[in-house]
Structure 1
Amino acid sequence: MATTPLDRTRVARTALKLLNETGLDGLTLRAIAKDLDVKAPALYWHFKDKQALLDEMATEMLRRMTEDLAADADAAPDADWRTAFTTAMRGLRRHLLMYRDGAKVYSGTRFTDLSYAAPMEAQLRTLTEAGFTPGGAARAWLTAYSYTIGYVIEEQAMGPDPAKEAGGYDLAARAERLAAYPLAAAAGQEMFRDYDAGFEKGLAALVTGIGATLRDA
């Protein structure tokens, strides 16, 4: 049996390590306990259920992310709001992609501490100083944040599986199924290939729309 005391952070870090091996569906408290060399009931002293563990895992992901996002901001202290906003969303996506099913783990969780507060405050301040109202800044941030998480959920679900040597969505088979719908068939090349370029195009459209509807108005 392990002699090092368990704490929530140690369990969450072990869970994140196993996540890359098993994916979210294969991640169990029993597997985490085995890796920690403890009995599964020991984990219930720290987490009442798997959702509580996911909350802590997402918070640990955010802690790791915050330092990098701060470094990105420090590297360009005079960036305008569009650049700062785009950089922040790129950083969010980059960190979600570090973990298998990372966006699913991160989505819909409740952070267990205030790690999110400082970066969120900084991003909202950048927007309000650029002329957004507080409400407009909040809506802009939530819209881009939701886009980024949603994009990565789809990217990780439809793209190549890191645990297999699979090439992602079979577009030839998709096109064959949609032969009677040529525009929908052709859309697959845009939607399910080159996720980096697709993210950038969508984010640029989003930032332009935010500027036109939530700031310039």
Structure 2
Amino acid sequence: MAQRLDRERIVRRALDLLDEVGLDGLTLRRLASDLGVQAAALYWHVPSKAALLDEMATTMLRDLIDQANDELAALAGEPWQDCVQLSADRFRAALLARRDGARVFSGTYLADERLAGWVELPLSILVDAGFSVPDATRGWGTLLAFVQGFAVEEQAQPPGVGEDVEERFAFGVDVIVRGLESRLAAGDVRSVTSDLSRHGHV
């Protein structure tokens, strides 16, 4: 008996096929053939390759959340820098786990709006550490953009090239952390100055 064709089965098989043929080799016709169905049958679930990539990125992110959220939750009360480092490491690992995984994320949109809440936990850790909501949001976005861009470059390199990749990645994350530390310290100074001004001490 043939398996029922649904979005979950399509996306999971697309991710497996991605590992086999890469992003450029992944087409709806190739995927349909692999699933043993007509291409038209896929269009009911994913009307275009762009829509398929959105679904694939969403599934990759959902898998990442399932794996990393408990680790992030365990960091509550720990230095916020640990949260930034763990988030960078886990996001990079998720992108590298799939062939061309970083490119799949480039320019895609989450197909499940509920997953937009995945940033709430790390953002709450940053806000609890003293960051304003705008600074926490921008800092988090900067981190994710760096990791994604780094992973795109990393996956594009031929094997054996860029042996200092781990050092370069660690350096980039450290630059972001130091920038956030500076931003946080500047915010503390502004807050103290504002308090003194209100009380007529400056």
Tell me, in whole angstroms, the C-alpha distance in 1 between the residues paired with 2:114 and 2:92: 18
> Which residue of 1 is the match for residue 165 of structure 2?
195
Residue type of the alignment partner of 1:198? R
Tell me, in whole angstroms, the C-alpha distance in 2 between the residues paired with 1:94 and 1:39: 34
Tell me, in whole angstroms, the C-alpha distance in 1 between the residues paired with 2:115 and 2:146: 18
Deviation track 1:14-44 (CA, whole Å, cap 9, x = no partner) reads: 0100101111001111111111111111100
The offset of 1:193, in angstroms, is: 2.3
> Which residue of 2 is the match for residue 125 of structure 1?
124
The offset of 1:121, in angstroms, is: 0.5
The count of corresponding residues between Structure 1 and Structure 2 is 186
> Which residue of 2 is the match for residue 45 of structure 1?
44
Deviation track 1:48-80 (CA, whole Å, cap 9, x = no partner) reads: 110000000000101110011113224444321
> Which residue of 2 is the match for residue 114 of structure 1?
113
Consecutive unaligned residues in structure 2, runs of 5 or more: 187-202
Residue type of the alignment partner of 2:170? E
* Secondary structure of the structure 2 residue equivalent to 1:5: coil
Q: 1:128·1:134 contact (CA, 8 Å) conserved in 2?
A: yes
Tell me, in whole angstroms, the C-alpha distance in 1 between the residues paired with 2:16 and 2:111: 19
1:103 maps onto 2:72 in alignment? no
Residue type of the alignment partner of 1:82? Q
Tell me, in whole angstroms, the C-alpha distance in 2 between the residues paired with 1:115 and 1:159: 37
Tell me, in whole angstroms, the C-alpha distance in 2 between the residues paired with 1:87 and 1:116: 19
Tell me, in whole angstroms, the C-alpha distance in 2 between the residues paired with 1:78 and 1:210: 18
Residue type of the alignment partner of 2:53? L
Consecutive unaligned residues in structure 1, runs of 5 or more: 161-166, 169-191
TM-score, normalised with respect to structure 2: 0.87
Q: 1:9·1:56 contact (CA, 8 Å) conserved in 2?
A: no
Residue pairs, 1:67-82, within 5 angstroms: 67-82=66-81
CA RMSD after TM alignment: 1.5
The percentage of aligned residue pairs carrying the same residue is 42
Larger Cα Rg: Structure 1 or Structure 2?
2
> Which residue of 2 is the match for residue 216 of structure 1?
185
Deviation track 1:66-105 (CA, whole Å, cap 9, x = no partner) reads: 0111132244443211111110111000110000100000
Residue pairs, 1:149-160, within 5 angstroms: 149-160=148-159
